[in-house]
Amino acid sequence: MISGSFSLLMLDQMPPSLLRADAFLSPLEIEAAVTRALEEDLGGAGDITSIATVPEDTEGRAVLAARKSGVIAGLPLVETAFRRLSPDIGIVPHARDGAAIQAGTKLMTISGNARAILGAERVALNYLGHLSGIATATATFVERIAHTKARVVCTRKTTPGLRALEKYAVRCGGGFNHRFGLDDAILIKDNHVAVAGGIKAVLTRAVQTAGHLVKIEIEVDSLDQLQEVLDVGLADVVMIDNFDLAAMRKAVALVAGRLVIEASGGITLESAAAIAETGVDYLSSGALTHSAQNLDVGLDIEM
């Protein structure tokens, strides 16, 4: 439990208006993430610095602002963090998740108990900076391939415990989500093929087991493997892994629209446009979540 006299934020007080309109993030996920982070930061004794230096009934006002330009994600977690420590705290939002902002843009004004503001500050900034960094990286990626039909998707290369938040941030940046976990789609990798005894064997077993709403994707690392997948005819999506551009173009011609094609393997911002121009449908990049740089955001007290 979070120590001190702070009250719990009820789930029906969650701030849905700050979410990007076309990207759902469960209120339960927001509450759980903020609770974990606050309990980690406040520990067993609470914010002993603020307790020692700030009188209990002191009121304060703070402005949350971006120090660099980018795309914002995580404002619902910011509001939840402050309300978790003081349910009646005043929150005035000036932006919404998914907004492209410039350096110096005010994002939120917070007013109320000064101890609560100081106690939640780091958790709020950690989430906002991290998720906005992912959204910003994704938006840059999306811009690079906007002249093509391709979409950029994230992967399962996420921070343990933060997958739903990070995948939401990708959506805030204009990207799309790949599967959320091992349980919502079948993705047959090279090791699955090896264990099962080949492409035909692994696809046959997958189709016999999968429900009618479960998509089946299979990874290939050569044009010969791709042809075998097409000959078997049981897959919905093919992942062409670490193909060079010439091989990608041949793969697109070979598939001829019969399967959805996902390009994967070390895709970077620099290589994205050329890959998208080959005609593939999706580019999957783990870098969107595991290598995005934090967006610099700050909170300044205005007493």
Query: Is residue 135 within 8 Å of 77, Cβ to Cβ?
Result: no
- Decide the pairing of beta strands 90-93 and 59-66: unpaired
Q: Active-site positions? A: 122, 157, 189, 219, 241
If we measure between CA atoms, which residue out of 134, 179, 140, 177 comes closest to residue 159? 134
CA dihedral 135, 128, 157, 152 (to 10 degrees): -10
The H-assigned helical ranges of the chain are 27-42, 48-53, 75-85, 114-144, 163-172, 190-196, 199-209, 223-232, 245-255, 269-276, 287-290
User: What contacts 63, CB < 8 A, 6 or more positions away?
Assistant: 106, 108, 109, 110, 299, 300, 302
Query: Is residue 29 within 8 Å of 167, Cβ to Cβ?
Result: no
